[in-house]
Amino acid sequence: MGQPRPVTPVGILTETLLRVRDRLDAGETDVRAELDRAYALAAGLDPYVARCTSPESPALAQLAARTAAHDWSVRPDGGVFLEQEMLSGHVEGQALQLLVHATRARQVLEIGMFTGYSALAMAEALPADGRVVACELDAEVAAFAQECFDASPDGSKIEVRVGPALATLASLAGTPFDLIFLDADKAGYVDYLAAILDTGLLAPHGVLCVDNTLLQGEPYASPEPTVNGRAVAAFNQALADDPRVAQVLLPVRDGLTLVRLLP
């Protein structure tokens, strides 16, 4: 029995790159066709995923456009580092909306709001009496998000809590949420997980979604991971070691881990 053949885009990309490497090692130089194939597999993936995903609402498109147009390099003294790339975006927003529907969520918690794309995406999918509690450290970006919420028919479902998320989580202890989206500072992920699991923030049937769990490949492919890479690797390990939960890491965008409580 031979090795199973690769049957996924990333598997075929890997095999193609390995062949290119072996041929270069053997002194061959006409690897152009194989490199083109590797490039097409990699470059086409995200656009194709986006094309096959339902479109975002006009309010979300406008929020994304406003975020992209803003100059985030100009920050008040002591302000948190922010950049437009923090916004989760179309595909992840649609994934979160689907999860709101699938879990029949009414109470949603977001940890790390930025300009509010994911908070508004989830709010749009909630029934009229649903609410999103959105935690954000930076007052300036929270005000930016609030302006976007005010321009949307679903924005009134979002309650913004400005301050360190751990303090907000402590004030919410014992309130069960049906869906939690964790997307704040990576260094805090292990502590946020402990707060969520130790203080009853996730409803028994609830789903915790954690963003950036692939952290640009650092946890598995970087010989010298950054502080964030190490923090995400430690979080992924803490989750794998926790007997209270079951989880799956989906390679959506920069990695989206879905977690549920075990009975």
Ligand X SMILES: C[S@@+](CC[C@H](N)C(=O)[O-])C[C@H]1O[C@@H](n2cnc3c(N)ncnc32)[C@H](O)[C@@H]1O
- The residues that touch ligand X, with contacts defined as CB under 6 A, are 80, 82, 86-88, 112-115, 117-118, 135-138, 141, 164-165, 183-185, 188
Which CB sits closer to ligand X, 81 or 220? Answer: 81
Axis crossing angle, helix 117-125 with helix 58-69, rounded to the nearest 10: 170
Cα distances from 145 to residues 67, 140, 141, 228, in angstroms, run 9, 9, 6, 25
CB of 206 to ligand X, least distance (A): 18
CB of 14 to ligand X, least distance (A): 28
Q: Is 250 helix (H, G, I), strand (E, B) or coil?
A: strand
Axis crossing angle, helix 117-125 with helix 139-150, rounded to the nearest 10: 40
Q: How far apart are CA 254 and CA 222, in angstroms?
A: 15
CB of 6 to ligand X, least distance (A): 32
Helix (H) or strand (E) holding 248: strand 245-250
Backbone angles phi, psi at 119, to 5 degrees: -60, -45
Q: How far apart are CA 174 and CA 168, in angstroms?
A: 12
Taking the CA of residue 28 as centre, how many other CA atoms within 13 Å lie in the half-sphere pointing to its CB?
Answer: 11
Residue partners of 52: CB distance under 8 A and separation at least 6? none
CB of 175 to ligand X, least distance (A): 17
CB atoms near residue 123 (< 10 Å):
26
Which CB sits closer to ligand X, 164 or 176? Answer: 164
Which CB sits closer to ligand X, 115 or 257? Answer: 115
CB of 83 to ligand X, least distance (A): 9
CB of 84 to ligand X, least distance (A): 10
Which CB sits closer to ligand X, 89 or 225? Answer: 89
Which CB sits closer to ligand X, 56 or 138? Answer: 138
Which CB sits closer to ligand X, 38 or 160? Answer: 160
